[in-house]
Structure 1
Amino acid sequence: MTLKNTHDRWGSVSKSLHWLIAVLILALGIVGLTMGEFPKTPKYFWIYTMHKSIGITVLVLVVTRLLWRVYAGAPQAIPGTPSWQQRIASATHWLLYVMMFAIPLSGWLYDSASGLRPFKLFGLFDMPKLVAPSDQISQVSHAIHEWGFWALILMVLAHAGAALFHHIQQRDATLVRMLPQGWLNIPQKESA
């Protein structure tokens, strides 16, 4: 397997970034949905700081992934894929990128506008504030962060559903080429 993407398959760097970001977003979502229920103890503040730190990590990984995609390119569409499906897939991918930028940035903006002291990224150093304290910016950025998460969930479900449709119904390599070599080897349709 190569590091760089080929014309018909994602390389190991793209795959690793894809799945690492997916797992981190899943963990962030679970923690984000449940952390409001925790009692306000030192452990709560530690969990909150970890949520913010991992969110910034996702932002850095998404930037890395986007730069890698520009450098390494992307595989061509599976032969025979209708152009309308290619356009929807492309739009979905770019919307996922927009959401993966908007959610951590809005969280950082919310933290900045809330007037709280700066959080320490993984306890190592203070993260800079993006704006001065502001109730209006705090409310808007919190809404973007919260509703953006739900929009991201819908986009991820559509993305995963399309990949499964291609794998199960179309019997093409759309899903398989983003998985580690040898996973889910369902025989492909015969070419006409």
Structure 2
Amino acid sequence: MNTITDNNDAPHPAPQPPLAEPAIPAAPAIEPAIEPAPPAPVAVKTRYDGVAMLFHWVLAIAIICAFSVGWYMSDLPFSLTRLKLFNWHKWAGVTILALSALRLLWRLAHRPPVDLPMPAWQKLGAHAVHWLLYAAFFAVPLSGWAYSSAAGFPIVWFGVLPLPDFVSPDKALAQTLKQVHQVFAYGLGLLVLAHLGAVVKHVVIDKDGLLGRMLPGRA
């Protein structure tokens, strides 16, 4: 007897797993660009520092005193008073010379405040007067020192510190150096007047706070 085989009983092939889709690589994460921090703002210096102010006002007082004494004593007859005033005048001159050297060193090592807004010609004139004043701070006392040496009167600073002579005693040279010293002194006086005139203009007309840059107190 033939056995009828049911096709349904035939073994079926095992189902194949579905083909996996190829993996798509994930796009790399894009990090937001980090911008560098802006540089810290640089503080703008608008006033002179305390040391510069001190040099300025002490020198101003010393120059006024030395000029006043020199003007007064020039017409005095020879006397003990005249000799005393000459010594005071010379001591003031040497002090001005020393302070000017220290002030110049401080000025070169410390940045001054920025210029105020002004026309270019005024700025040029202000800087020219500024540096001419520095030159006169040295020229006037040095020429006076040389004149005193040529006249045969050594300088003993405040009666304590003998200073070396610039030149040997020479009457003719002394007269020449006296005139040179006077010319330099009057030149310094004119520069001071020009400086004061500019300050008055800035205070009265411009009203831009220039004088406050050289006065103690808050900006």
Question: Under a length normalisation based on structure 1, what TM-score does the superposition of the two structures give?
Answer: 0.85
Query: 1:3 aligns to what?
Result: none
Q: Is the 8 A contact 1:114 1:138 kept in 2?
A: yes
Aligned to 2:47: 9
- C-alpha contact 1:167 1:176 (8 A) present in aligned 2: no
Larger Rg: 2
Q: Quick check: 1:51 aligned with 2:51?
A: no
Q: CA deviation at 1:51?
A: 1.0
Mapping of residues 46-125 of structure 1, within 5 Å? 46-78=84-116, 80-116=117-153, 118-125=154-161
For 1:176 and 1:93, how far apart are their aligned partners in 2?
A: 17
Deviations 1:34-54 (A, max 9, x none): 113445333332221121011
Amino acid at match of 1:17: F
Equivalent residues, number: 176
Greater helix proportion? 1
Q: SS where residue 142 of structure 1 aligns?
A: helix
* Residue 147 (structure 1) shift: 1.6
Once residues 58 and 170 of structure 2 are traced to their aligned partners in structure 1, the CA distance between those partners, rounded to angstroms, is 34
Deviations 1:93-117 (A, max 9, x none): 011111111100000000011123x
Q: Choose 120-129 or 131-140, whichever is displaced more.
A: 131-140
Deviation per CA, 1:131-156: give whole Å up to 9, x if none. Answer: 11223432222112112111111111
Q: How much identity, in percent, do the aligned residues show?
A: 38
Q: Which residue of 2 aligns with 1:159?
A: 195
Q: What root-mean-square deviation, in Å, do the aligned CA atoms of Structure 1 and Structure 2 show?
A: 1.7
Match of 1:139 in 2: 175
Structure 2 equivalent of residue 30 of structure 1: 68
5+ residue gaps, structure 2, are: 1-43
Q: 2:185 aligns with which of 140, 149, 156?
A: 149
CA distance in 1, matches of 2:217, 2:180: 38
Structure 1: distance between partners of 2:75 and 2:64: 18
Query: Does structure 2 conserve the Cα–Cα contact (< 8 Å) formed by 1:21 and 1:61?
Result: yes
| Greater shift in the superposed pair: 100-109 or 31-40 | 31-40
Deviations 1:151-180 (A, max 9, x none): 111111111111111111111021211122
Structure 1's consecutive aligned runs of 4 or more residues displaced over 4 angstroms after TM superposition are none
Instruction: Work out the CA distance in 2 between the residues paired with 1:7 and 1:136.
Output: 51
Opposite residue 93 of structure 1, the aligned amino acid is H
The DSSP-based 3-state class of the residue aligned with 1:155 is helix
Give 1:89 shift.
Answer: 0.5
Cross-structure match for 1:179: 215
Normalization by structure 2: what TM-score? Answer: 0.75
Amino acid at match of 1:111: S
Say if 1:113 and 1:138, in contact at 8 Å, map to a contact too. yes
